[in-house]
C-alpha cells in the first residue's frame, strides 16, 4: 500500500533557520505523532521509534531515516526504512525552501510511504486515513515550532 501527500506552508523565518531545524532530528523528531525515542546513528542517519496503534495492532515502529539529499538552505530529503508491527515500511520526504519578502520562507513538502505485510489486511481501510492524519499533525507541529 502506498500513500503520497504534498503541501506547503509559510513561516516567518529565514530559509537558513528553517533548514537548520529540518536537518536536526533532535529538534523535529519529537514533533512526530506518537514519538517515543530517537537515536543518532551517524551525521546523516538516525533511528526513530514511534508508537503504533491502529485497530487491534499495537506496538513500536523502528525506522532508520537518512538525509539523502541536501542543498543548504534550499532543500532536504530523507529516506527511511523500518519495521512496523505486522510489516515493514519505506518512507521518503522532501522539503524545498523558498525565500519570500519580509523574512518569510515558503516550505513545500512531499511525502510518500509504502507499507508491506499483513498489517495492511489487519488494519483494513484505516491505514491511509491514519497516515494522512499523522502527516497533518507533523506539518502542523512544524509550522507551530517554526512560528
Domain CATH code at residue 64: 3.30.530.20
Tens digits of residue pLDDT in 81-106: 998 877 888 999 999 999 999 999 99
Instruction: Tell me the C-alpha distance between 119 and 10, whole Å.
Output: 35
- In this predicted structure, the answer to whether residue 13 has a pLDDT above a threshold of 90 is yes
User: What integer is the mean pLDDT of 24-41?
Assistant: 94
Cβ contact 35:27 at 8 Å: no
Instruction: Tell me the C-alpha distance between 131 and 125, whole Å.
Output: 11
Q: How far is CA 104 from CA 17, 99, 110, 120, in A?
A: 10, 6, 20, 40
At residue 146, the 3 state secondary structure works out as helix
Total domain count, the chain? 1
Give the pLDDT of residue 64: 97
- Range of 116's domain? 2-146
User: What integer is the mean pLDDT of 34-44?
Assistant: 95
Tell me, yes or no, if the pTM score tops 0.75.
yes
Average pLDDT over the chain, rounded to an integer: 89
* Residue of 82, 81, 90, 84 lying closest to 118 (CA atoms): 84
Amino acid at each position: 500500500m502506498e500513500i503520497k501527500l504534498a503541501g506547503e506552508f509559510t513561516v516567518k523565518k529565514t530559509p537558513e533557520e528553517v533548514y537548520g531545524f529540518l536537518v536536526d532530528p533532535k529538534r523535529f523528531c519529537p514533533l512526530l505523532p506518537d514519538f517515543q525515542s530517537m537515536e543518532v546513528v551517524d551525521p546523516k542517519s538516525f533511528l526513530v521509534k514511534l508508537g503504533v496503534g491502529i485497530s487491534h495492532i499495537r506496538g513500536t515502529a523502528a525506522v532508520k531515516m537518512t538525509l539523502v539529499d541536501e542543498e543548504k538552505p534550499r532543500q532536504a530529503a530523507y529516506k527511511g526504512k523500518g519495521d512496523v508491527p505486522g510489516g515493514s515500511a519505506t518512507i521518503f520526504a522532501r522539503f524545498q525552501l523558498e525565500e519570500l519578502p519580509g523574512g518569510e520562507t515558503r516550505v513545500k513538502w512531499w511525502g510518500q510511504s509504502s507499507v508491506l505485510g499483513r498489517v495492511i489486511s489487519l488494519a483494513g481501510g484505516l491505514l491511509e486515513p491514519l497516515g494522512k492524519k499523522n502527516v497533518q499533525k507533523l506539518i502542523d507541529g512544524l509550522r507551530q515550532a517554526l512560528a
